[in-house]
């Protein structure tokens, strides 16, 4: 029956609703109960107050502290944690904390990577990552992002990358890198750049990431990116780390500091290396990868900091 | 735009100027928005009432304020034209605007927000702050009135910009469909009745499309139509929706746009054709049965036995 077919087609088309509108409409239903009694400026004010309070405690990126500072935090804490910090002390000398504002992983990655380039002056690595960044830009274009919504963030990251290479007019010192990482107008832009890159990579390889995302949040890939990757302040999980590591071709080591221990009673610090997968590179090149971790992050449930090897 | 007036190093300024450029180079028939020359963080906009709603043909003005942290913080929206859906000069509670700051993301833009705002107009306010729940007839009256002129608001420069935007929208927005509410419902009833008599199944389908009891489905339809306008190349989508959904809703539609009229005519023709076909088939069948009966009776066969055989 012709009419039924028409209806089926219409149904099909209804499904392809503008996602922004969909998110907006859904939340308008859900949030009415919780938020109807607050005005939007009140919500904003509270939001800003919380941020200001956090800012007071710690800059986006803190100073380098000896590992003993970490031990001091757990003086009267779990013996397993104390034991693990001792073990960490065998290979690591220092820690650099980041603010716990939901962007800590990206902030760690930004500082640790730029610091690595500043210290190594590795021109080949800079060229390699630039090519990957270019690829990420194409990914976003292919996914239908309007260029003006992400180009500023890309430009700002590339600018920082140029700056940490010495010998240019725009070159910066280690102190300046730290200052910039604490400056919201640089730091947040770079974090947002990483969020775009991560979102693009997750969506480009939706099939690969889908089972992980389903296990994590029971969301579709699309929704996950809109709700947990692109908005600032959304915490990162292993999906984010895998995607960012793959997209930029940068290996990341994460040390896990939690209260887990073996049955035998012996304590060891678990770690995981996020090594970029090379088989799925969009342009088919297999050499665009640094397999050795260029940074080590310390994970405590809900938060990332940077660790420095001895 | 006086670019030298602003600090081009300020990323928010850079982004906003990009959006202005983009808005000017890809104008839409459904909305227009531009910043004041004296302050690019202050925009004026006008949106066309969504088609197939009581807002159709209306031109609704409003202002947008972009925060200094844009695009990290969302813009806020305020309508200035009385419309019966949102209070005027009150910040609008859309999850895409700053009512729910946590939902905003930097990959959205003024354009995205305006599209969402249009899609929001026909939705049920559910008592949300700043929302109004006027009757359809009231809203329709306001839609007609909204075309007369832009509202009076703010400085002479702002007024000039609003008048310009109004002139632009007048050339784009279709006229308000001229039909009284009673007339519509009468026509609706007759049309459905005819259809139901002729062919119940078809009648059901059309009724289902028209009297969709689920408000969300209705929202989605509108959202779809909006989306089509943004991606102008997806034109056929809109056509098929008009065909399915405005069948009986806007039958007389004396003053409505030609495109929709042709659609209606075609649909009506289709159902007329169907009526004739079924009438013809019915008549033919009746005649055949009568002839057969007569033939059998005249040739002396017991009609009852044939009935039993069946």
d(CA A173, CA A118): 8
CA distance A38 to chain B (A): 9
Instruction: Supply the pLDDT for residue B289.
Output: 83
Asked if the structure places residue A110 within a domain, the reply is yes
pLDDT for A89-104, tens place per residue?
Answer: 999 999 999 999 899 9
B85 neighbors B55 (Cβ within 8 angstroms): yes
**Contact call for A18 and B224, based on CB within 8 A:** yes
Q: Looking at chain A, which residue has its C-alpha nearest residue B23?
A: A148
**Can you name the residues that pair with A61 across neighbouring β-strands?**
A98
**Contact call for A6 and B243, based on CB within 8 A:** yes
Tokens coding A59: 């800059």
Instruction: Supply the pLDDT for residue B134.
Output: 86
Confidence of residue B281 (pLDDT cuts 50, 70, 90): confident
Asked if the structure places residue A39 within a domain, the reply is no
Confidence of residue B224 (pLDDT cuts 50, 70, 90): very low
Asked if the structure places residue A59 within a domain, the reply is no
- Domain range enclosing A267: 71-96+103-309
Q: Does A47 touch chain B (CB under 8 A)?
A: yes
Asked if the structure places residue A64 within a domain, the reply is no
Number of domains observed in the structure of chain A: 1
Asked if the structure places residue A62 within a domain, the reply is no
Domains of chain B, by residue range, sit at 3-172, 181-191+198-279
Instruction: Supply the pLDDT for residue A252.
Output: 96
pLDDT for B145-178, tens place per residue?
Answer: 888 888 988 889 999 999 999 999 999 878 887 7
d(CA B247, CA A266): 75
In sequence order, which residues have a C-beta less than 8 Å from that of residue A299 and are 6 or more positions away?
A254, A255, A256, A257
Instruction: Supply the pLDDT for residue B270.
Output: 57
Confidence of residue B236 (pLDDT cuts 50, 70, 90): very low
pLDDT for A12-69, tens place per residue?
Answer: 444 433 444 444 444 444 444 454 556 666 766 777 777 777 767 789 999 999 999 9
pLDDT for B28-39, tens place per residue?
Answer: 999 999 999 889
d(CA A41, CA B240): 41
Confidence of residue B208 (pLDDT cuts 50, 70, 90): very low
Residue scoring higher pLDDT (B309 or B235): B309
Asked if the structure places residue A147 within a domain, the reply is yes
Q: Looking at residue A269, which CATH number applies to its domain?
A: 1.20.1300.20
Tokens coding A33: 């109960």
Percentage of chain B modeled with pLDDT above 90: 22
Question: Per the residue annotation, which of B1, B20, B93, B237 is the catalytic one?
Answer: B93
Q: Does A124 touch chain B (CB under 8 A)?
A: no
pLDDT for A189-217, tens place per residue?
Answer: 999 999 999 999 999 999 999 999 998 88
Q: Please name the fold of domain B3-172.
A: Ubiquitin Conjugating Enzyme (3.10.110)
**Contact call for B11 and A189, based on CB within 8 A:** yes
Asked if the structure places residue A226 within a domain, the reply is yes
**Contact call for A10 and B97, based on CB within 8 A:** no
**Tokens 């693990």 sit at which residue?**
A84
**Contact call for A40 and B101, based on CB within 8 A:** yes
Residue scoring higher pLDDT (B89 or B227): B89
Residue A79 burial class via C-beta count within 10 angstroms: exposed 0-12, middle 13-18, buried 19 and up = exposed
Chain A neighbors of B73, CB-CB under 8 A: 44
Chain B neighbors of A4, CB-CB under 8 A: 205
Q: B259 pLDDT exceeds 60? A: no
Instruction: Supply the pLDDT for residue A253.
Output: 96
Find, among B76, B53, B166, the residue nearest to B130 by Cα.
B76
């Amino acid at each position: 029956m012709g009419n039924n077919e028409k209806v089926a087609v219409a149904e099909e088309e209804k499904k392809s609703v503008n996602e922004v509108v969909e998110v907006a409409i859904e939340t308008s239903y859900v949030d009415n109960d919780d938020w109807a009694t607050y005005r939007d400026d009140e919500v904003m004010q509270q939001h800003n107050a919380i941020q200001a309070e956090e800012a007071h405690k710690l800059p986006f990126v803190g100073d380098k502290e000896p590992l003993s500072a970490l031990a001091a935090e757990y003086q009267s804490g779990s013996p397993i944690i104390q034991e693990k910090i001792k073990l960490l002390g065998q290979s690591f000398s220092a820690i650099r904390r980041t603010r716990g504002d939901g962007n800590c992983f990206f902030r760690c990655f930004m500082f640790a990577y730029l610091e690595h380039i500043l210290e190594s002056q590795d021109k080949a690595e800079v060229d390699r990552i630039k090519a990957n960044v270019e690829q990420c830009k194409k990914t976003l274009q292919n996914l239908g992002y309007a260029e003006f919504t992400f180009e500023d963030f890309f430009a700002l990251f590339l600018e920082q990358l140029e700056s940490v290479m010495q010998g240019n007019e725009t070159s910066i010192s280690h102190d300046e890198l730290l200052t910039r990482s604490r400056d919201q107008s640089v730091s947040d832009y770079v974090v947002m750049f990483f969020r775009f890159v991560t979102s693009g990579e997750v969506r480009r390889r939706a099939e690969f990431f889908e089972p992980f995302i389903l296990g994590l949040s029971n969301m579709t890939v699309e929704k996950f990116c809109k709700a947990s990757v692109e908005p600032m302040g959304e915490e990162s999980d292993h999906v984010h780390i895998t995607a960012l590591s793959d997209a930029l071709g940068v290996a990341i080591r994460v040390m896990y500091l939690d209260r887990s221990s073996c049955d035998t009673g012996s304590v060891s610090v678990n770690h995981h290396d996020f090594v970029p997968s090379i088989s799925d590179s969009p342009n088919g090149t297999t050499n665009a990868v640094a397999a050795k971790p260029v940074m080590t992050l310390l994970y405590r449930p809900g938060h990332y900091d940077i660790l420095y090897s001895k | 735009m006086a670019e030298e007036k602003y600090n081009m190093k300020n990323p928010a300024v850079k982004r906003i100027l990009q959006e202005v450029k983009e808005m000017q180079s890809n104008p839409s028939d459904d909305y227009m928005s531009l910043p004041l020359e004296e302050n690019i963080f202050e925009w004026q906009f006008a949106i066309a009432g969504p088609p197939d709603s009581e807002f159709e043909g209306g031109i609704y003005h409003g202002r947008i304020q972009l925060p200094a942290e844009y695009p990290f913080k969302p813009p806020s929206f305020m309508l200035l034209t009385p419309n019966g859906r949102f209070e005027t000069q009150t910040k609008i509670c859309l999850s895409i605007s700053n009512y729910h700051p946590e939902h905003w993301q930097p990959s959205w833009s003024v354009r995205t927000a305006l599209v969402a705002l249009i899609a929001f107009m026909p939705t049920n306010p559910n008592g949300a702050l700043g929302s109004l729940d006027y009757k359809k007839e009231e809203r329709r009256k306001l839609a007609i009135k909204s075309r007369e002129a832009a509202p009076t608001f703010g400085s002479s420069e702002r007024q000039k910009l609003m008048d310009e935007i109004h002139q632009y929208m007048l050339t784009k927005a279709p006229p308000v469909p001229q039909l009284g509410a009673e007339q519509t419902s009468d026509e609706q009833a007759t049309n459905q009745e005819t259809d139901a008599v002729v062919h119940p199944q078809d009648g059901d389908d059309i009724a289902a499309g028209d009297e969709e009891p689920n408000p969300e489905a209705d929202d989605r339809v509108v959202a779809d139509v909006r989306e089509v306008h943004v991606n102008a190349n997806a034109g056929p989508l809109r056509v098929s929706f008009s065909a399915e959904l405005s069948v009986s809703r806007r039958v007389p539609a004396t003053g409505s746009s030609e495109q929709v009229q042709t659609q209606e005519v075609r649909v009506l023709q289709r159902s007329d054709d169907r009526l004739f076909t079924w009438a013809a088939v019915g008549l033919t069948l009746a005649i055949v049965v009568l002839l057969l009966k007569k033939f059998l009776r005249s040739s002396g066969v017991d009609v009852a036995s044939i009935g039993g055989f069946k």
